[in-house]
């Protein structure tokens, strides 16, 4: 597979060239009135996306929520169904059912699409979907040997039996098991896989650093312009200061980025702390409901949730290629082309992963041999790509990222006067998601 990907890299244009391209359009006049592209409603319910602001401002009674779906990745045993525990803690009715989903980095995408299915079947009308990750306090387990001994000690009936078990303890019993962002099937960390993928697609260190700088620069511009209206200030218990904005956005220089050492494949790797997404605490939530229900409640929808699909591929050599597989498949399913998309929001796990996906889509070899296409799919318009930065600059609280991608898509469609947006993301296990959103005629970006 690695050899094939190197061949792909040699047949694709450089990513740096794509960044430098600009879109040109001639002015034309016509007697026909422009009509925005509308997608068919496949659910029969016109499922719409509403942000979480009505709850933050207590404008919506929690009793109207029929169901809650929440995602998480690194689970705490005490709150294995975090959706239910969070709902009760937040004051939702104890009559409101809730369940938790997990699908790695696309867990809140799964929460949203699960909610869409429940609405489409007529089971419910209004659902809260989201995700949460608490990376600063992850569960750390005892070693397997220690766990086994503790369980046997718990079953021991006499003091003598317990003392005999204690006498078997060895120093290595005390070595903890730390959670790692690694594949169970291969044992490889995601960062190491990203480094291999970048190398296979000939994504240079310079290209990766340039993309990371682009992400941080665009995120800083969007933040300064007040575009991140989906954020809700949060007061941390025991801390005086209220968190009001993302604190991972750092616009550096090319020279500073070039000085960083490889983080995974040492000493020759190209993935560094700066061109990889950083792990952070975070939570997200959105309302999804029928358009009829939203209007009855006096809510202004952000977007229609029109279509989606999930993909999976080889978790060893193609772990992070979910977008390259999902984007062409979803557009074909919806009868669209890349030119129909006004806003691209793609999860930035690593700069090298983004570049590899772009090169894969622009490769005849990859598209013919792995996607079953007749020719290369092509490269999306980079002037419409992650224009407010992404996970590289904003952060990646695993299960919360999907809602952020959807909300940025909806708000960007308003501010950039677009109609259709596409969300795509890769995930552990060699999986991925692609979603289509359509701007609602009453949407605003506030």
**Could you list the active site residues?**
105, 396, 426
The strand pairing partners of 133, in sequence order, are: 282
Residues 359-362: contacts with CB under 8 Å, at least 24 apart: 359/8, 359/9, 359/12, 359/15, 359/201, 359/202, 359/203, 360/8, 360/201, 360/321, 360/324, 361/324, 361/327, 361/328, 362/12, 362/13
Rounded to a whole number, what is the distance in angstroms from the first to the last CA of the chain?
46
User: CB neighbours of 403 closer than 8 A, spacing ≥ 6?
Assistant: 108, 111, 112, 129, 130, 131, 284, 285, 286
CB 321 within 8 A of CB 357: yes
Residue whose structure tokens are 């060239």: 17
Task: Return d(Cα 38, Cα 289) in angstroms, integer.
Answer: 19
What is the strand order of the sheet 431-439 is part of?
A: 98-101, 67-71, 126-133, 282-290, 47-51, 303-312, 431-439, 420-427, 343-346
Task: Return d(Cα 155, Cα 152) in angstroms, integer.
Answer: 5
CB 15 within 8 A of CB 207: yes
Phi, psi of 309 (to 5 degrees): -160, 160
Task: Return d(Cα 424, Cα 437) in angstroms, integer.
Answer: 11
CB 54 within 8 A of CB 128: no
CA 84 to chain centroid: 22
Task: Return d(Cα 228, Cα 249) in angstroms, integer.
Answer: 13
Q: Where are the alpha helices (DSSP H) in 12-122?
A: 15-20, 53-56, 82-89, 107-120
Phi, psi of 343 (to 5 degrees): -145, 120
């Amino acid at each position: 597979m690695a050899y094939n990907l190197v061949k792909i890299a040699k047949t694709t244009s450089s990513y740096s060239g794509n960044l430098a391209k600009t879109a040109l359009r001639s002015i034309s006049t016509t007697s026909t009135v422009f009509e925005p592209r509308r997608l068919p409603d496949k659910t029969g319910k016109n499922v719409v996306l509403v942000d979480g602001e009505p709850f933050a401002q207590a404008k919506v009674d929690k009793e109207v929520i029929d169901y809650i779906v929440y995602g998480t990745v690194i689970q705490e045993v005490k709150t294995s169904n975090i959706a239910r525990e969070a709902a009760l803690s937040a004051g939702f009715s104890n009559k409101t059912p809730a369940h938790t989903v997990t699908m790695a980095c696309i867990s809140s995408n799964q929460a949203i699409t699960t909610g869409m299915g429940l609405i489409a079947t007529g089971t419910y009308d209004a659902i809260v979907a989201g995700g949460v990750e608490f990376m600063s306090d992850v569960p750390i387990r005892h070693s397997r040997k220690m766990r086994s001994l503790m369980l046997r000690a718990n079953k021991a009936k006499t003091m003598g039996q317990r003392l005999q078990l204690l006498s078997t303890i060895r120093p290595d019993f005390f070595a903890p098991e730390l959670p790692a962002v690694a594949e169970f099937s291969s044992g490889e960390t995601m960062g190491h896989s990203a480094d291999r993928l970048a190398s296979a697609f000939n994504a240079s260190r310079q290209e990766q650093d340039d993309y990371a700088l682009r992400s941080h620069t665009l995120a800083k511009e969007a933040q300064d312009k007040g575009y991140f209206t989906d954020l809700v200030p949060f007061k941390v218990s025991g801390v005086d200061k209220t968190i009001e904005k993302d604190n991972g956005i750092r616009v550096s220089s090319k020279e500073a980025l070039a000085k960083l050492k490889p983080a995974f494949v040492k000493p020759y790797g190209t993935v560094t702390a700066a061109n990889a997404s950083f792990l952070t605490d975070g939570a997200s939530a959105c309302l999804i409901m029928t358009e009829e229900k939203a209007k009855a409640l006096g809510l202004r929808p952000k977007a229609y949730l029109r279509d989606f699909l999930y993909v999976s591929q080889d978790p060893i050599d193609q772990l992070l290629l979910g977008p390259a597989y999902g984007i062409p498949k979803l557009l074909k399913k919806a009868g669209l082309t890349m030119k129909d998309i006004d806003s691209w929001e793609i999860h930035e796990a690593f700069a090298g992963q983004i570049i590899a996906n772009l090169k894969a889509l622009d490769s005849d070899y990859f598209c013919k041999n792995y996607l079953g296409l007749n020719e290369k799919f092509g490269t999306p318009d980079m002037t419409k790509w992650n224009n407010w930065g992404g996970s590289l600059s904003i952060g990646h609280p695993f299960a919360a990222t999907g809602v952020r991608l959807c909300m940025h898509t909806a708000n960007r469609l308003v501010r950039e006067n677009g109609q259709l947006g596409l969300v795509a993301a890769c995930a552990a296990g060699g999986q991925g998601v692609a979603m289509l959103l359509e701007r609602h005629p009453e949407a605003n970006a506030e």
